Structure formats: structure tokens, C-alpha cells
Amino acid sequence: MNFLDALVDLLLEMAPWILLGFFAAGLLHVFVPKTLFRRFLSGGGVRSVFWGAMLGIPLPLCSCGVIPTAMGLRKDGASRGASVSFLISTPQTGVDSILATWSLMGLPFALIRPIAALITGLAGGIFVNWRTEKDEPKITGETPPEADGPKLTPFGKVRECFRYAFVEMLGDIGKWLTIGLILAAGITVLVPDGLFAGLETRPWLGMFAVLLLACPMYVCATGSIPIAAALMAKGFSPGAAFVLLMAGPATNLGAMLIVGKVLGRKTLVIYLATILAGALLTGLCIDSFCPREWFTLSATLRPACCGGHEDGVWAWVKILSAVLLVGLLVNSLILERFRNRKENEEMKENETGNSRTYQVTGMTCSHCRNFVEKSIRAVPGVEDVTVDLATGRAEVFGPADPEEVKKTVEEAGFEIE
């Protein structure tokens, strides 16, 4: 099998479930009220920590997108423990990654992912409430009715569902999903079958190796699936593959820096310890207590497989889904470049004595950009703001105090000059 064949097979196997997961994410975005989060995440008890994990598990946010969301919840009244529980559980899984995991790695993996996310989220949140100061977050006032967005007609809700799922969300994680597929295809073709078979007798060694690889790198929950499956096909144990599925999406250097800055070093230590210990313990439990036959890969990645192709209607569903997914990925790239160019032109046109340009660092997705814009708009004296994700430039209009703008952005977890 050459590289292109491996890449196409992976794409065919995952595309229908990825599209279905994106659509489910759009439904959650449109029909779950934002005020629901504030209602369930306030207070310092176990209840808020539990709901922080439960509300985060189905959301398809990566480790960069979850940061501004969690910081927004914190400002709106969520407890420190609930915020950490949300931070730990959300990037590990989501409706899109659960379905994609099922398609490529089997049902047991798909079930264990949300269970592990729930347990580690609860453990981290409860431990943070126990070991950190019982401070109260600054609540920015009562949540206005428009916090859930403008009222939409039934047609408008359907349109917003598709826009969020296949434009905004796909634009955020499309690059990382593509990288994950390319890496998995490269591993499938370049790494000899059975190269890591010796690790089956020492699974803990493979887990530590995967953990060292996963912690600093950035990979989303869906993008980690083909990489983990490819490693497992080359001899890594199911537990070691799960370590990548769990620790890879939940940790990266950027997320660690922001968590430490906004929530404190002690909270960062608990956050990392919970994820790393949870990944290793879950991996060891999988290898020690779960039958190996539970974890069967898709025929696409089996070493001895000579095709794995299917006939009939499902084969056409896979082909059409793959073509649609590739088209949507290309469309998101074009739209993002067009938006960046348009924002740069607007900044040049609007440069007046009543505006200031700031350089914001640390933004990695549209969630970050939207959170920065929302934070700056709340500063007294700000009349309008435009933030360009590609360059990090923020054009702020109005007689706002620059120090207040700087303070607000830094409290949100980003650097600004």
C-alpha cells in the first residue's frame, strides 16, 4: 500500500462519522442555551464539578478552543473546580470524535473515551476545590437574554447549525484533522508491521513513550484517532494508543501556559497531574483487564489486510462523504484567507486618530478570536473592535483606556502589546 492509498482509505473510513459528528455539534451549539452553563457551574461543591465535566464531554472543542470558553465561564460565575473539570474533560472527546473513534477503532474505545473524560474531570475539579483557595470569581453581572445570541427563525436555526458545524468549527480543527490523517498514513506506510510488537510484553514502556510525545504536541480529539490507530497497528498496545487519545488533545504547551497564568500554578499542576495519571491508569486498566479482541481496528489499518473495501450503498456513502469533507476543508481554507484579507483591508481603511492597534499573541482558533473581541468590547469607551486571527492584530475604536484594554486581554489569558 502506498501513501496515497493509505490516506484515501483513512479518509473513506472516517468521513461519514466526522460529518455526522460536526452536524451534531452544530445542533448542540444552536439548541443548548448558553445560560445553562452558568446555572449549573456556579458554586464550589461537587455538583458544579460534575456538571462541568458532563457539559464539556459532548462539546467538540479542542485544547485551544476550550481555554477561552472555560475562561468565559469562569468570569460568568463558574467555580474554579468546575472550570478545571470543564478544561480537562472537554478536549478529550466530543460527539464528532466519539463517532469517528467508533468507526476506526471500535465501540469499546468509543465508550471508554467519555467515561475516562468524566472520571478525570471529576477528579481534577474536586482536587482543585480541595487544595486551592476558596475564591469567588468576578461575575460580570446578570446574563442578559441576548447571551444566547439573537432570536432566530426555524430556518435561521438550521442555517446557523450548518454554518457553525461546517464553516466555523471545520475551520478551527480542519488543519489538525488533515495533519492527523497525513501522519497516520505516513506511519501506516513507512513503519514496518510489528516493529513495536515487543512492547506488548512491556506496555507501560509504550505508554510512557506515547505520553512524552503527546504532552507538548497539539492534536485535536478527532485528529488523534488515526494516529493512535496507526500506532496500534504497528505494535503498540490498546492502552498505549488510548494514552495518546486522552493526553494528546488535553495537553499542549500553549494551553498549559494560559491555565497557569489565569488559574494559577497550583491549579496547573493539578490539571496536568490529573490528565497524565488518568491517561496512564486508564491505559494500564485497558491492557490488564480488557480482552484484546475488544479492540479491533478497522480493516483499513490491519497489517494483513489487502483492501478493506466494501460494496453497495455504504461504499457510495463513504465516497460521497469523503468528497464532501475534502470540499468543505478546501472551502474553510479559502474562507479563512478571504476573511483575513478583508479584515486587514478594513483595518487600513479605518485607521484614524480614534483607534489604536494592539498585537495579541496566543490566539489559535476562532474561539480565541471571538473571546478576545468579546472581552475588549466590554471595556468602557470601546466603540468597536476588529481582531485578525492570522496576524494577531486588534484594532480598537473609541476613547478606551489602553491600560484597561491590556488588563482585560491579559485576564482572558492572552498576551498583548
E strands in 40-105: none
pLDDT value, residue 305: 40
Q: Do both 270 and 369 map to the same domain?
A: no
Q: Which whole number is the average pLDDT over 338-366?
A: 69
Determine the length of the chain: 417
Confidence check: pLDDT of 140 > 50: no
Indicate whether 276 and 411 sit together in one domain: no
- Residue (of 175, 270, 157, 155) closest to 222 by Cα position: 175
Q: Pick 343 or 32 by higher pLDDT.
A: 32
Same domain, yes or no, for 213 and 321? yes
Regarding whether 376 and 317 lie in a shared domain, the answer is no
Residue 334 resides in a domain: no
Query: Is 78 contained in some domain?
Result: yes
Sign of CA dihedral 31, 68, 88, 38: negative
Whether 74 and 145 map to the same domain: the answer is yes
Tell me how far apart the alpha carbons of residues 403 and 408 are, in angstroms, rounded to a whole number: 9
Q: Are residues 159 and 246 in the same domain?
A: yes
Instruction: Please give the full DSSP string across 139-203, using - where no structure is assigned.
Output: P-SSPPGGGG-S---HHHHHHHHHHIIIIIIHHHHHHHHHHHHHHHHHHHHHSPTTTTGGGGG-H
Out of 325, 342, 361, pick the residue that ends a domain: 325
pLDDT at 387: 83
337 is a domain residue? no
* Parent domain of 355: 350-416
Residue 78 sits in the same domain as residue 129: yes
Maximum average pLDDT range among 49-53, 62-66, 146-150, 162-166 = 49-53
**pLDDT-based confidence at residue 38 (cuts at 50, 70, 90):** low
**Residue-level pLDDT at 120:** 93
> What is residue 133's predicted lDDT score, i.e. its pLDDT?
59
pLDDT tops 50 at residue 301: yes
Give the pLDDT of residue 50. 92
- Rounded to two decimals, the pTM is 0.69
Asked if residue 247 and residue 160 are part of one domain, the reply reads yes
Domain presence at residue 249: yes
**How confident is residue 34, by pLDDT bands cut at 50, 70 and 90?**
low
The mean per-residue pLDDT over the stretch 200-205 comes to 72
- More confidently predicted of 10 and 268: 268
Residue 191 region, left (φ>0) first, then alpha (ψ -120 to 50), else beta?
beta
258 with 374, same domain: the answer is no
Contacts 24+ apart (CB under 8 A), 375-378: 375/408, 375/409, 375/411, 375/412, 376/405, 376/408, 376/409, 378/140, 378/408
Domain boundary among 267, 291, 325: 325
Domain contains 101: yes
Which of 178, 166, 181, 172 has its CA nearest to residue 104? 181
Would you say residue 331 lies in a domain?
no
Measured between alpha carbons, how far is residue 216 from residues 5, 25, 55, 280, 356 in Å? Answer: 30, 27, 26, 16, 35
358 or 363, higher pLDDT: 358
The H or E element that residue 210 is part of is helix 203-214
Residues 174, 220, single domain; the answer is: yes
Q: What are phi and psi of 59, to 5 degrees?
A: -75, 135
For the segment 87-122, what is each residue's pLDDT rounded down to a tens digit? 889 888 888 888 888 888 888 999 999 999 999 999
Domain count, the chain: 2
- Note whether residue 379 is domain-resident: yes
Whether 104 and 220 share a structural domain: yes
Q: Is residue 338 part of a domain?
A: no
Same domain, 247 and 381: no
CATH number, domain of 406, equals: 3.30.70.100
pLDDT at 139 exceeding the cut of 50: no
